[in-house]
A and B are shown apart, each in its own frame.
Chain A
């Protein structure tokens, strides 16, 4: 598993969580986002890259600037992170139910 693409790894970092909060309500250019942090611009760029790889951020090129905004659908998925686990068991149990409804005892 590529850890950098692990969305939970991505949101474990406080700077990255702060970036997500910044762009939650508005699109912001990379420069405007970086201006909110004391860290070096390349470090912020790296965080933006990781968040984009995890699909938590989406971006649009506008002239020479790249504008980032939050991918709300992906954030919702994280809130529901138990759902894929539940779904995998639900699928399995549905199969069991269909199988046994057709099952004729060999007695």
Chain B
């Protein structure tokens, strides 16, 4: 089956490109990226600020069940063309990762299908590779944490 979301990360480059085709009109995809109530639902984060204009800024924050902030990110919007293009920066707060530059291009395919191209440029090749490996490393850590929990329970029983 053809994958709907593709990631192209060439060796030795400090950028990557994510492409996705949607069974949605381009206007709806663009709306999902710009309306705070919609962003909150599919990104799973709270939107503190979203100024959809050139020179505008944005801020996201995610808290866990106990109210602790687990994710905080912000950036500024450099270019904003409705249903066509958003150029913005992205930086995670309290994380050792430098700011990244994102070019989001929205393209109409037919009346009810569209395509998104996200080009993300990182400060260095190693930072890009680190960001690519992040979900993988988290997966491994989670597996280890689960294993540790199981082991702890076993120790308690003895």
Chain B residue nearest in CB terms to A93: B20
**At the interface, is chain A mostly helix, strand, loop or mixed?**
helix
Tell me whether A14 is interfacial, beta carbon within 8 Å.
no
Query: Interface-forming stretch among B35-43, B66-74, B75-83?
Result: B35-43
Instruction: Give the contacts of B1-25 with A (CB-CB under 8 A).
Output: 3-7, 9, 18, 20, 22-24
* Contact code string A8-33 (vs B, CB < 8 Å = 1, else 0): 10000000000000000000000000
Instruction: Give the contacts of A79-95 with B (CB-CB under 8 A).
Output: 81-90, 92-95
A90 and B6 alpha carbons, distance in the complex (Å): 8
Size of B's binding interface in residues, CB under 8 A = 33
Chain B residue nearest in CB terms to A97: B22
A55 and B131 alpha carbons, distance in the complex (Å): 22
A90 and B21 alpha carbons, distance in the complex (Å): 11
Tell me whether B29 is interfacial, beta carbon within 8 Å.
yes
Size of A's binding interface in residues, CB under 8 A = 29
* Contact code string B27-38 (vs A, CB < 8 Å = 1, else 0): 011011000001
**How many cross-chain pairs have Cβ atoms below 8 Å apart between A and B?**
85
Instruction: Specify which chain B residues have a CB less than 8 angstroms from the CB of A1 in the assembled complex.
Output: 137, 141
Tell me whether A73 is interfacial, beta carbon within 8 Å.
no
A101 x B23 contact (CB < 8 A): yes
Chain B residue nearest in CB terms to A7: B140
Tell me whether B53 is interfacial, beta carbon within 8 Å.
no
A95 x B41 contact (CB < 8 A): yes
Give which listed residue, A55, A85, A96, A100, contacts B136 with CB less than 8 A: A85
Residues of B within 8 A of A (CB): 3-7, 9, 18, 20, 22-24, 28-29, 31-32, 38, 41-43, 116, 131-141, 143-144
8 contacting pairs across A/B (C-beta < 8 A): A5-B141, A6-B140, A55-B143, A84-B138, A87-B135, A89-B20, A103-B28, A103-B31
